[in-house]
Amino acid sequence: MDSNELQKIEKTAKNEVSGAKNLDELNDLRIKFLGRERGALTLVLRNLKNLPQEERKIIGKNANHLKILTEELFEKRGEELKKTEFDSILKKEWLDVTRPGAKIERGSLHPITLVRCEVEKIFSSMGFGVVEGPEVETEWYNFDALNIPKDHPARDLWDTFWLKPAQTGADGTRKVAENFLRNSASSLRSSALLLRTHTSPVQIRYMQSHNPPIRIIAPGRVYRYEATDAGHDIQFHHVEGLMIDKHISIANFKAVILELFKKLFGKEVKIRLRPSYFPFVEPGFEVDLSCIVCNAKGCPVCKKTGWSEIMGAGMVHPKVFEAVGYIPRNQQGFAFGIGLDRITMMKYKIPDIRLFHSGDLRFLKQF
């Protein structure tokens, strides 16, 4: 060991440390020169004890000096490398905090839902409760209790989806089928199942469990086994209405309905009642609304008549009161069934009822 060797170490250390390209490389070099086990300088210092005393003094002093110098070199290069690495991260991960965020697409309510909510709000403000009933109904609720017995020609007014009871299948299904058959045999009330063709069965259900006075609406889906076109679909929506008390008349009905349309369409509208036949009301009528789309001037929506047919209505038939166990002469009332799809089409000027279930986003996004 001599001073030359120290100088050599110093030179290579200076060269290599200043040439280190990153912190990993620098760390390897630290081990090479200062490592506790085999670092070049460490070895020099460890071997001092084998040198003659004079030499040990000089070399020892120089070696310690070099150690401090080398540590400083590492320190300095380390700082430099840390800074360049940080700078390159800043460059790579640059973020423009002033940039507007990506827009999150939101869904919207279906137009039928919008109008249904509005109709519910308007009726609530007139003191009507909102009730619901099942979409799968029995024959008794959908027809018999509404004064439409089996083989009554009026049944043809409602083309019906009948549901088959399951005859075979896993144990569970068989049990359902057996129960079903037992019930239909033991009861005079037919429990054959169908998809309700109107919301009128909800009137029956409600009157069975409540006494007059009654003021309710019952919105919901109804089904008919029909050919579809721009004005008809196999699935659509009704809002049933029922108001019963001691002295309810058609004048009350007209007032309620005019109020509904005035609020819904935001302007005065005209209605006209045409005599019509529904077995569960007497007298029965159909209600036409002056066409909102063309202001009653005549357009494709109203088929150039200026009027659009939007609901059936009438005074509740005594037979219906009998079916729910009321004494017919003790009360009277009106009932109506509004085509929700029709008035939605009017409100938003929608030309084809089938758009409602098309799932077409270009249509739905407009609401």
Phi-psi region of 299 (alpha: psi -120 to 50; beta: other; left: phi over 0): beta
Q: Residue from 287, 314, 323, 326 that binds ligand PHE (CB under 6 A)?
A: 314
Footprint of ligand PHE on 283-312 (CB under 6 A): 284, 312
Q: Would you count residue 133 as binding ligand PHE (CB under 6 A)?
A: no
Cβ nearer to ligand PHE, comparing 133 with 284? 284
Q: Write down the least CB distance from residue 111 to ligand PHE, Å.
A: 21
Q: Using CA atoms, how far apart are residues 59 and 55, in angstroms rounded to an integer?
A: 6
Which among 160, 132, 136 is positioned nearest to 148, based on CA atoms? 160
- CA distances to 307, 324, 327, 328, 366 from 318, rounded to whole Å, are 31, 10, 8, 5, 46
Q: Would you count residue 332 as binding ligand PHE (CB under 6 A)?
A: no
Q: Residue from 147, 191, 200, 308 that binds ligand PHE (CB under 6 A)?
A: 200
Q: Write down the least CB distance from residue 312 to ligand PHE, Å.
A: 3
Q: Write down the least CB distance from residue 178 to ligand PHE, Å.
A: 33
Cβ nearer to ligand PHE, comparing 286 with 352? 286
Cβ–Cβ under 8 Å, residues 350 and 111: yes
Q: Write down the least CB distance from residue 366 to ligand PHE, Å.
A: 29
Q: Write down the least CB distance from residue 176 to ligand PHE, Å.
A: 29
- What x-and-dash track marks residues 232-271 binding ligand PHE by CB under 6 A? ----------------------------------------
Cβ nearer to ligand PHE, comparing 177 with 271? 271
Q: Write down the least CB distance from residue 142 to ligand PHE, Å.
A: 10
Q: How far apart are the first and last CA of the chain?
A: 90
Ranges assigned E (strand) in 166-255: 193-195, 214-223, 235-245
Cβ nearer to ligand PHE, comparing 6 with 335? 335
The verdict on whether residue 282 carries a ligand-binding annotation is yes
Query: Helices 340-348 and 250-265 sit at what angle, rounded to 10 degrees?
Result: 40
Query: Helices 111-125 and 340-348 sit at what angle, rounded to 10 degrees?
Result: 110
> Per 3-state DSSP, what percentage of the chain is helix, strand, and coil (rounded to 5)?
50, 20, 35
Q: Would you count residue 336 as binding ligand PHE (CB under 6 A)?
A: yes
Cβ nearer to ligand PHE, comparing 118 with 286? 286
Q: Write down the least CB distance from residue 278 to ligand PHE, Å.
A: 4
Stretch that binds ligand PHE, among 28-36, 120-128, 276-284, 297-305 (CB under 6 A): 276-284
Q: Would you count residue 123 as binding ligand PHE (CB under 6 A)?
A: no
Q: Would you count residue 278 as binding ligand PHE (CB under 6 A)?
A: yes
Cβ nearer to ligand PHE, comparing 9 with 338? 338
Q: Using CA atoms, how far apart are residues 37 and 43, in angstroms rounded to an integer?
A: 8
Stretch that binds ligand PHE, among 56-64, 115-123, 166-174, 334-342 (CB under 6 A): 334-342
Q: Give the chain's radius of gyration (CA, Å).
A: 44
Cβ–Cβ under 8 Å, residues 107 and 280: no
Q: Would you count residue 207 as binding ligand PHE (CB under 6 A)?
A: no
Q: Would you count residue 281 as binding ligand PHE (CB under 6 A)?
A: yes
Chain centroid to CA 93: 37
Ranges assigned E (strand) in the chain: 129-130, 136-138, 193-195, 214-223, 235-245, 271-276, 281-290, 307-316, 332-339
Chain centroid to CA 103: 18
According to DSSP, the residues that pair with 315 across neighbouring strands are 334
Q: Residue from 291, 313, 340, 346 that binds ligand PHE (CB under 6 A)?
A: 313
Q: Would you count residue 198 as binding ligand PHE (CB under 6 A)?
A: yes
Which residue positions form the known binding site for Mg(2+)? 282
Contact residues toward ligand PHE (CB under 6 A) are 198, 200, 278, 281, 284, 312-314, 335-337
